[in-house]
């Protein structure tokens, strides 16, 4: 029985299941982060908050974009790590973590400015 994606499961040897399960938990953590970021963006626009409209919309859009980036990181990061495990190579570094952290900081600054102006 072939497993999906073949580009990941079709190479190397089967790793210790504990490592694959840990990789899957990391994937799920990124998905939870993605959902939280998208929910934050939707909530900013759905709720009537005393935040300047342009800055509120910019922060909401940024949160949604960061949520999409986190979901992409979940998939790409999982595939890269699983392939590295199967090929007995060093695990890859974090691709977009600093971008997401910087984006959240910028969104918080936009919200703060929106409250003050």
Domain-embedded: residue 62: yes
Mean pLDDT computed over every residue of the chain: 95
Domain-embedded: residue 9: no
Domain-embedded: residue 11: no
pLDDT at 1: 64
Domain-embedded: residue 87: yes
CA distances from 56 to 16, 26, 117 (A): 47, 31, 12
| DSSP code per residue over 19-74 | HHHHHHHHHHHHHHHHHHHHHHHHHHHHS--SS-HHHHHHHHHHHHHHHHHHHHHH
Whether pLDDT at 3 is above 90 = no
pLDDT at 94: 83
pLDDT at 4: 87
pLDDT at 95: 80
Domain-embedded: residue 99: yes
**Mean pLDDT value of segment 2-9:** 87
pLDDT tens track for 39-68: 999 999 999 999 999 999 999 999 999 999
Per-residue tokens: 116 = 């003050």
DSSP 88: T
Q: Residue 29 sits in which domain range?
A: 17-116
pLDDT tens track for 85-99: 999 999 998 889 999
Domain-embedded: residue 5: no
**Number of domains the chain is built from:** 1
CA–CA distance, 61 with 51 (Å, rounded to integer)? 14
Q: What is the pTM of this model?
A: 0.90
Q: What values do phi and psi take at 52, rounded to 5?
A: -50, 130
pLDDT at 109: 97
């Amino acid at each position: 029985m072939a497993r999906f994606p073949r580009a990941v499961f079709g190479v190397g040897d089967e790793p210790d299941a504990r490592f694959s399960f840990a990789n899957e938990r990391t994937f799920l953590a990124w998905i939870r982060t993605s959902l939280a970021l998208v929910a934050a963006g939707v909530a900013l626009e759905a709720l009537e908050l005393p935040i300047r409209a342009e800055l509120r919309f910019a922060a909401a859009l940024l949160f949604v974009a960061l949520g999409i980036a986190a979901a992409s990181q979940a998939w790409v990061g999982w595939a890269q790590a699983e392939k590295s495990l199967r090929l007995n190579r060093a695990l890859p570094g974090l691709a977009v973590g600093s971008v997401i952290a910087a984006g959240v900081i910028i969104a918080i600054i936009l919200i703060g400015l929106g409250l003050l102006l």
